[in-house]
Structure 1
Amino acid sequence: MSQRDLAQDDPLADFTALHMTIEGVEKRVWVAGDGLGVIVMAEMPGISPHVARFARWVRDAGFRVYMPSLFGRDGAVADAESGAETFRRACISAEFRALGGGTSSPVARWLMGLARLAHDECGGAGVGAVGMCFTGNFALTMMLEPAVRAPVLCQPSLPLDNPAGIEIAPDELAAVARRMELEDLNALGLRFAGDPFCRAERFAAYRAALGDRFTARVVPDDAANPATPSFFARHVPAPHSVVTVHLVDEAGSPTLAARDEILAFLRAQLGPNA
């Protein structure tokens, strides 16, 4: 994959923009690659060049990537002000449940429908789902859809007001846990050690609910890239985004190793065709 300037807006020219209507709601989905399907959900404040870089890594690993536009301006390097406004709008949107915990965001249902479409198109045993930050726990909720077999939770940050909370209804979490045990499936979670938005208490809650089916990877804070766009510099000053903004793209980097673990996890969970 050729190097791109991550400080400049990304035109996403190597993706195809599709408008998909699921349960009466239309959203734009950026699609690229061939192979088994993987849903890549952007972190706040949207599909940035860093998020697109990660999606390309997944594509180049042999998967067909589906990257839905859930908030923000697609491909943009959001400045501190516009990124904060995107965050505020998402927090009050009926599609998301940013506060409280113990309930699932309504948009997860739309994402389950996207997973079904991706599975129908790509075949195989199922699809993967990678959530980040605001969308991190969506990957777990999507396990209520049988097509989803490989959930990756990168620094899941909701609910914002309860470090030990999980953004999923208790009965749904129990159903996911039962399915993972019956089908011998696992979930992978990643976070930085000192992340104030995804603290150790949250991963402990996942472990309590899912047991050994939840694999936690905690990356040391000193492995984070200190050079970040203005939105992160002002609003997310601590290490947070393991495989996007705070990733160090150098051999031997713990964050690059985290990316490679995600790709290996997707291959293992989705079967021999991955």
Structure 2
Amino acid sequence: MATTQRQSNDPLDDFERRDVEIENVSKRVYVAGTGPAVVLMPEMPGISPDVARFARWIREAGFSVYVPSLFGVDGAYPLADAAETVVRRACVSAEFRAFAGGGTSPVVAWLRGLARAAHAERGGPGVGAVGLCFTGNFALTMALEPAVVAPVLNHPSLPLDDPEGLEMDDDDAAAVAERVKRDRLKVLAYRFENDRWCTRERFAAYQALLGDAFDGRVLPSEAANTNPPPFFRDIVGCPHSVVTAHLVDEEGHPTMKARDEIIAFLGERLRT
């Protein structure tokens, strides 16, 4: 199913721009809203208009949303040439572990610090962490920060070369499993059925690690938007981004139901 696709950049003018320094590393973070905090991490190739739209939906649901700039051009419409200008650069960056054997991406330590800062600022029971694609698994490894109580993994794609990999080292995997069990966390996750970047083998690996705490939901591939931006059409090449590029903005559509389920999950965990 196709949906009308916006083809312009998003100025992000309704977000407060902050330069947040954690452990001597500064990154731009876009902040909006009131209420409990949710850290929304961008998907490749950056904070696209569709990622910003999802951030606004979180804000409108009564949360404070923090969107860190991790790669790409903030607000840019995703063009196919981002495969060379953004993805290749991120894959060799010291901050990310894009391939099997690399362990946990170092940038996650900075993101945990952002979650701590957001919780201190906004209060409440804790913080939500929502990952997308390249950052999908970061929402789980962020749960090693006690403030993170609502992890959501959307189509986690790392490691790119191992369909069963979880993009974390053995010690972190054990610590995450222990924290999830101890604090009775739930981990919500989404993928499309025939996604070649986020496979059923990866969801099975999460299930093996986390047991019943892992709630992996699979949407039929035919539910995906058939007219995504060029980066997703030409480079990703399959149904992938459930609540952003491949979302169909129609009431009652499966991807919109997924959006609503995520927001409801955040509400259950973050509101007293």
With a CA cutoff of 8 Å and minimum separation of 6, indicate the structure with the bigger relative contact order: 2
> Which whole-Å CA distance do the structure 2 matches of 1:72 and 1:136 have between them?
17
Letter matched to residue 172 of structure 2: E
Where does the alignment leave 5 or more consecutive residues of structure 2 unmatched?
none
Structure 2 match to 1:207: 207
1:248/1:256 contact within 8 Å kept: yes
> Where does residue 264 of structure 1 map in the other structure?
264
CA drift at 1:84: 3.3
Q: 1:245 to 1:5 in 2, by over 3 A?
A: closer
Match of 2:106 in 1: 106
Q: How does 1:6-45 map to 2 (within 5 A)?
A: 6-45=6-45
Distance 1:124 1:201, change over 3 A: same
For the Cα contact (< 8 Å) 1:165–1:202, is it kept in 2? yes
The Cα offsets for residues 238-269 of structure 1, whole Å up to 9 and x where unpaired, read as 10000000000101210000001100111112
- In 2: Cα distance, 1:82 partner to 1:237 partner: 14
Is the Cα–Cα contact under 8 Å of residues 185 and 269 in structure 1 kept in the other structure?
A: no
Q: Which runs of 5+ in 1 are unaligned?
A: none
Counterpart of 1:183?
Answer: 183
Q: Does 1:138 align with 2:138?
A: yes
2: CA distance between counterparts of 1:232 and 1:116?
33
Paired position in structure 2 for 1:224:
224
**TM-score of the aligned structures, taking structure 2 as reference length:** 0.97
Counterpart contact for 2:5–2:229, Cα < 8 Å: no
SS at match of 2:234: helix
User: For residue 254 of structure 1, what is the aligned residue in structure 2?
Assistant: 254
CA deviations over 1:176-219 (Å, ceiling 9, x no partner):
11111111111011000000000000000000000000001100
Q: Deviations over 1:2-25 (max 9, x none)?
A: xx9731100001000000111111
Q: Distance in 2 between matches of 1:118 and 1:83?
A: 32
Letter in 1 for 2:152: V
**What is the DSSP-based 3-state SS (H/G/I as helix, E as strand, rest coil) of the residue aligned with 1:202?**
helix
CA contact (8 A) 2:156 2:198 kept: yes
SS in 2 for 1:30: strand
Aligned residues: 269
Assess, with a 3 A threshold, how the Cα gap between structure 1 residues 257 and 246 changes in structure 2: closer, same or farther: same
Write the letter of the residue equivalent to 2:58: V
Deviations 1:62-111 (A, max 9, x none): 00000000000000113211343200000000000000156100000000
Aligned counterparts of 1:115 and 1:209: Cα–Cα separation in 2: 23
1:159 Cα shift?
0.4
Give the aligned residue type for 1:219. Answer: L
Q: Which residue of 1 aligns with 2:90?
A: 90
- Residue pairs, 1:140-159, within 5 angstroms: 140-159=140-159
Note the C-alpha offset of 1:141. 0.5
The CA distance in 2 between the partners of 1:225 and 1:204, in whole Å, is 25
Q: Which residue of 2 aligns with 1:64?
A: 64
